[in-house]
């Protein structure tokens, strides 16, 4: 049988936890293993067992003494050790002051600092990814923005974790000085943070799987790393025996975090190189707007997004291969407009020499809307000119651009661009 | 400077130090305290083994060899002084109490 648990609540609620274990033992369920999030109970003969929780590092001499006294070691979560006995033995921690010292050592400030450093890294990473986006880009499903929000969510979970740890340390420090603690309030806060962190973590797991499924190699690598690290930990624990202090758990989690973080950075680095290579080889020195290969959208200091098109309507390669096909170009263009509205790019793209173009304003989502709101609209064949919000826009085929030609009148620039208008 | 937790010794801390006038190992210390206090005070194994390294760190006790793979601990001069200071505090408190209640 498996039961979910939260270490912070266990630390604060030791008496209740012990009573719960004893009630389960009477029903024939004995505590067998203590995991990060779960207790594992095994079926056994119903018995009156007594449980004990202790926060001391286990030295060989201490282990031997406990064994001789009749305390049977079950498992440990870091230095939080779980014991049981058939006899009613005295409590292991008889002095509240010493217990408070042990708990404060268990919730090590170094670990809290480590958690906050990890949160800081996540915030910086998330910020770097989010730099080029507006808040509403999340709804366009832009991958990097989703990543960025995930980073903030992880940072939020870590900060909640650190706050919980600090509050517990503070509560035990007060208890040791005989100052009363609002235990129920603290328990409520910790329960709430557990629920929030749990929901966010579940959401992130689903997100990671969905995102990773789009890049199977990274998914496999991530899974292989996690598996390898768990195997190493299992072997380590097996060698040292279950009574060993599980101090390696934080180190393990840190390594796991760094590996996943590093893996993603390498992935982003690799994709960036590939994107830039593609653009370099496909870029033509001078061309018309209808040729989508000429666009490079700068996003963040280290990211280049090449997914201008709507992936549901065709892959990047398909559009590249068939970019002169009007239908595909239109699909490309629509995607480009949407992404432009979603991304905080400057909207100007150099098309060789000194000609630069920009897309429709952010609030305009279609050419029809632009025509409806235009101050001036002229049409000739498949080419159109319109003046909107004081700027000239040209449409050639399916493309809409705003033309700026330094030193020339905007209308001249538009005509220069459209050539035969 | 002594850590904040040892500014005033709790009864358990006091009796652990008191029992180490002669070298003893962990389990013996617990038995000795129980005998000395006629069963009025029991020191949990967790409390004892949490305090021993801290007392070593503070210099109140030192190791005095090993017996059957178990470390023997004994009081140092600093430990004796700490006990003496603690007793002085208790005597002062007792005197103050008597002055108020006259018993």
Question: What are the tens digits of pLDDT across the range B18-39?
Answer: 999 888 888 889 888 988 888 8
Q: What angle do CA A112, A78, A219 make, to 5 degrees?
A: 75
With an 8 Å Cβ cutoff, are B26 and A61 in contact? yes
Q: What is the DSSP letter of B72?
A: E
Specify the pLDDT at position A293.
Answer: 40
Tell me the three-class secondary structure of chain A, residue by residue. CEEECCHHHHHHCHHHHHHHHHHHHHCCEEEEEECCCEEEEEECCCCCCEEEEECCCCCHHHHHHHHHHCCEEEEEECCEEEEEECCCCCCCCCCHHHHHHHHHHHCCHHHHHHHHHHHHHHHHHHHHHHCCECHHHHHHCCHHHHHHHHHHHHHHHHHHHHHHHHHHHHHHHHHHCCCCCCHHHHHHHHHHHHHHHHHHHHHHHHHHHHHHHCCHHHHHHHHHHHHHHHHHHHHHHHHHCCCCCCCHHHHHHHHHHHHHHHHHHHHHHHHHHHHHHHHHHHCCCCCCCCCHHHCCEEEECCEEECCCCCHHHCCHHHHHHCCCCHHHHHHHHHHHHHHHHHECCCCEEECCCCCEEECCCCCCCCHHHHHHHCCEEEEECCEEEEEECCEEEEEECCEEEEEECCCCCHHHHHHHHHCCC
> How high does pLDDT run on average in chain A?
65
Q: What is the DSSP letter of B24?
A: B
> Is pLDDT of A203 > 70?
yes
Which chain A residue is nearest to residue B3, measuring alpha carbons?
Answer: A101
Specify the pLDDT at position A282.
Answer: 37
> Is pLDDT of A139 > 50?
no
For residues A134 and A129, the model is more confident at A129
Selection from A257, A267, A204 nearest residue A226 by Cα: A257
- Which residues of chain B does A62 touch, with a Cβ-Cβ cutoff of 8 Å? 26, 45, 49
> What ipTM was predicted for this assembly?
0.84
Question: What are the tens digits of pLDDT across the range A235-289?
Answer: 655 554 444 444 445 555 566 666 666 666 665 555 544 444 344 333 332 222 2
- Which residues of chain A does B51 touch, with a Cβ-Cβ cutoff of 8 Å? 98
CA separation for the pair A21, A32 (Å, rounded): 11
Say whether pTM exceeds 0.95.
Answer: no
- Which residues of chain A does B12 touch, with a Cβ-Cβ cutoff of 8 Å? 94-95, 98
Mean pLDDT of A25-34: 86
Q: Tell me which residue in B26, B27, B44 faces A94 most closely, judged by beta carbons.
A: B44
Q: How far is B54 from chain A (nearest CA, A)?
A: 10
Lowest mean pLDDT among A37-41, A131-135, A223-227: A131-135
With an 8 Å Cβ cutoff, are B46 and A54 in contact? yes
Mean pLDDT of A59-84: 84
Which chain B residue is nearest to residue A80, measuring alpha carbons?
Answer: B46
Lowest mean pLDDT among A33-42, A82-91, A96-105, A338-347: A338-347
> Is pLDDT of A415 > 70?
no
- Which residues of chain A does B24 touch, with a Cβ-Cβ cutoff of 8 Å? none
Which chain B residue is nearest to residue A100, measuring alpha carbons?
Answer: B5
Q: How far is B34 from chain A (nearest CA, A)?
A: 12
With an 8 Å Cβ cutoff, are A61 and B69 in contact? yes
With an 8 Å Cβ cutoff, are A55 and B44 in contact? no
CA separation for the pair A235, A377 (Å, rounded): 74
Residues 10-49, chain A: which have Cβ within 8 Å of B?
Answer: none
Which chain A residue is nearest to residue B29, measuring alpha carbons?
Answer: A65
For residues A398 and A158, the model is more confident at A158
For residues A214 and B62, the model is more confident at B62
Chain B contact probe: residue of A56, A243, A245 with most B CBs at under 10 A? A56
CA separation for the pair B21, B79 (Å, rounded): 10
For residues A74 and B102, the model is more confident at A74
CA separation for the pair A29, A26 (Å, rounded): 7
Helix (H, G, I), strand (E, B) or coil at B101: helix
Specify the pLDDT at position B88.
Answer: 92
φ and ψ of A376, to 5 deg: -140, 135
């Amino acid at each position: 049988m498996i039961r979910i648990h939260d270490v912070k609540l266990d630390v604060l609620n030791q008496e209740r936890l012990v009573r719960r274990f004893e009630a389960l033992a009477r029903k024939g369920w004995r505590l067998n293993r203590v995991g990060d999030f779960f207790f594992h109970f095994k079926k056994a003969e119903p018995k009156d067992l007594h449980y004990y929780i202790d926060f001391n590092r286990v030295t060989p001499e201490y282990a031997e003494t406990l064994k001789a006294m009749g305390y049977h070691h079950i498992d440990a979560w870091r230095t939080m050790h779980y014991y049981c006995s058939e006899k009613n033995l005295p409590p292991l921690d008889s002095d509240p002051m010493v217990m408070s010292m042990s708990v404060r050592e268990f919730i090590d400030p170094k670990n809290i600092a480590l958690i906050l450093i990890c949160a800081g890294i996540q915030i910086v990473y998330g910020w770097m990814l989010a730099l080029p986006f507006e808040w509403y880009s999340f709804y366009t499903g832009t991958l990097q923005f989703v990543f960025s929000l995930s980073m903030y969510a992880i940072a939020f979970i870590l900060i909640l974790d650190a706050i919980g740890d600090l509050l517990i340390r503070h509560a035990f420090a007060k208890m040791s000085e005989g100052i009363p603690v609002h235990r129920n309030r603290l328990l409520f806060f910790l329960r709430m943070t557990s629920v929030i962190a749990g929901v966010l973590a579940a959401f992130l797991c689903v997100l990671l799987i969905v995102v990773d499924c789009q890049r199977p190699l990274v998914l496999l690598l991530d899974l292989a790393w996690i598996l390898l690290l768990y195997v190493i930990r299992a072997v380590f624990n097996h060698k040292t025996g279950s009574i060993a202090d599980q101090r390696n758990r934080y180190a393990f989690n840190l390594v796991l975090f760094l590996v996943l973080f590093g893996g993603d950075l390498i992935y982003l680095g690799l994709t960036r190189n590939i994107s830039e290579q593609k653009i370099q080889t496909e870029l033509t020195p001078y061309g018309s707007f209808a040729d989508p290969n000429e666009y490079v959208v700068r996003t963040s200091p280290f990211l280049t997004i090449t997914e201008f098109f709507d992936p549901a309507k065709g892959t990047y390669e398909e559009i590249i291969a068939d970019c002169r096909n009007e239908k595909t170009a239109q699909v490309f263009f629509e995607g480009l407009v949407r992404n432009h509205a979603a991304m905080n790019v400057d909207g100007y793209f150099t098309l060789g020499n000194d000609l630069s173009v920009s897309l429709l304003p952010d609030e305009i989502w279609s050419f029809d809307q632009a025509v409806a709101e235009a101050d001036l609209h002229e049409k000739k064949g498949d080419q159109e000119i319109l003046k909107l919000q004081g700027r000239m826009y040209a449409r050639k085929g399916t493309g809409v651009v705003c033309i700026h030609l330094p030193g020339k009148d905007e209308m001249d620039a538009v005509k220069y661009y459209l050539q035969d208008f | 400077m002594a850590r904040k937790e040892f500014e005033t010794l709790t009864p358990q801390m006091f009796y652990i130090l008191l029992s180490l006038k002669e070298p003893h190992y962990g389990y013996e210390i617990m038995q000795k305290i129980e005998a000395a206090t006629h069963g009025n005070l029991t020191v949990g194994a967790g409390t004892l083994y949490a305090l021993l390294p801290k007392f070593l760190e503070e210099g109140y006790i030192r190791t005095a060899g090993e017996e059957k793979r178990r470390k023997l601990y004994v009081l140092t001069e600093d430990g004796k002084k700490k006990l003496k200071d603690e007793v002085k505090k208790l005597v002062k408190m007792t005197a103050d109490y008597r002055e108020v209640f006259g018993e």
